[in-house]
Amino acid sequence: MKRRSILTGVLLGAAVVATSRPAVAHVDYVTDGPGAALDAFAFLIEVLSNPINAAIFGVSGLAGVVGIAAYLWIRPTIADIVILREKLAGYTDLVPWMLRLAVGLPLVGAGFQGYLFAPTVSFDPSANPLVRLLFIGLGFFILFGLATRITTAIGLLTYLWALTVDPGVVLAMEYVPAFLALLVVGGGRPSADDMLHEVASTEGTYYGRIDPVHHLKAFLDDVTDPFRPYVPTVLRVGMGVAFVYLGLFQKLADPGSGLLVVEKYNLTAVVPVDPGMWVVGAGVTEMLVGLALIAGFFTRGAAAASFVLFTTTLFGLPDDPVLAHITLFGMASAVFTMGAGPISFDHWFGRPAVSDEEPVVPAD
């Protein structure tokens, strides 16, 4: 029974990846203009009224429900998964470093290439040198982990400002949860903040005599410490909202633009289904992954699936801007490392402890 349920889950995951190759592409990043104006509801009905499409959706949905139900009913303690969770828990202290890379690199790229967070919202670097310098400076400071919380706060304010300049910046909404998480965890280690604080707080050091702010870092560490357990929640919910937005608004609500992507990359030659099925399948897949992340439902599995989808998307769509997806890559890595955290289905529905000495095992 256990082997059958595991096999079902593996086959389902493979099917989702195989049929959703362009799922996490930002449509606006790879198309030159809006697609045909189509009635979204009528388009959905037309696609699902096709018997073959309906059968694919029905069988896939049933297989998914059966696989999940079987796992929840059995909730096995598999030694491999237990060891994996314990190993991942040892990487938690590296999450700030993951997030700094995930935010810092695309900010530097945005500054040099001349766009406000989302590649579709560009500015002229020669006409706006201060904006360019701001993005490059924010990126490098975050990469080095120097004054991380202060820099991150400036970055968050910059995003809110950019949103007022052009609402299209909403395409890069993943920056918000990443910034919020960094405000809580700080630079972590390795970082300039950690190194300088160690030197400055050691009695007898020359740097300690001139550094006026190392006490501020200690104060901020104490203030944000109670919020650290909620960092996984912030990241997975923020990532989930981004997925739902991409699936609902960029594909299901605007199928014309999705069809442009299918046509541009000849995706029907990759998986021989009609173009409408590609668009609807991609949109539904993104929404399901996003809802799973928001609910904290098999969180590590959803994060791993999203990471695979990002990778296949970048290989499948060669002109999709890599820098624009680094933040999501980093967030997926952090969520996979930390799991669901509190306020999640996984936390609530974990396998009960089999003894007083054993903790509850999360369902992810």
Q: Which helix (H) or strand (E) holds 242?
A: helix 231-247
Q: Global pTM? A: 0.84
pLDDT score recorded for residue 219: 87
E strands present in the chain: none
**pLDDT for res 9:** 40
pLDDT at 106: 95
pLDDT computed for residue 35 by the predictor = 62
Q: What pLDDT does 218 receive?
A: 81
pLDDT for the residue 75 = 66
Q: Please tell me the predicted confidence (pLDDT) of residue 143.
A: 96
What dihedral angle (degrees, nearest 10) is formed by the CA atoms of 221, 226, 230, 235?
-20
Cα–Cα distance for residue pair 288/272, rounded to 1 Å: 23
pLDDT at 140 (0 to 100): 97
First to last CA, the chain: 19
179 and 139 Cβ atoms separated by less than 8 Å: no
Strand partners, 351: 361
Per residue in 261-313, pLDDT tens? 888 877 777 778 888 888 898 899 889 999 999 999 989 989 998 888 777 77
For the residues of 55-97, what is the DSSP string, one character each?
HHHHHHHHHHHHHHHHHHHH----HHHHHHHHHHHTTGGGHHH
HSE at residue 128, side-chain half, CA atoms within 13 A, is: 16
Burial class from Cβ neighbours inside 10 Å (0-12, 13-18, 19+) for residue 127 reads exposed
Q: Are 281 and 328 in contact (CB under 8 A)?
A: no
The predicted pLDDT at position 357 comes to 55
10-residue mean pLDDT profile of the chain (364 residues): values are 38 37 55 69 90 90 88 72 84 94 96 93 92 97 95 97 94 95 94 90 85 80 92 95 90 86 79 85 90 93 87 69 84 93 83 53 66
Predicted pLDDT of residue 76: 60
For residues 193 and 299, the answer to whether their CB atoms sit within 8 Å is no
pLDDT tens for each residue of 102-156 = 999 999 999 999 999 999 899 999 999 999 999 999 999 999 999 999 999 999 9
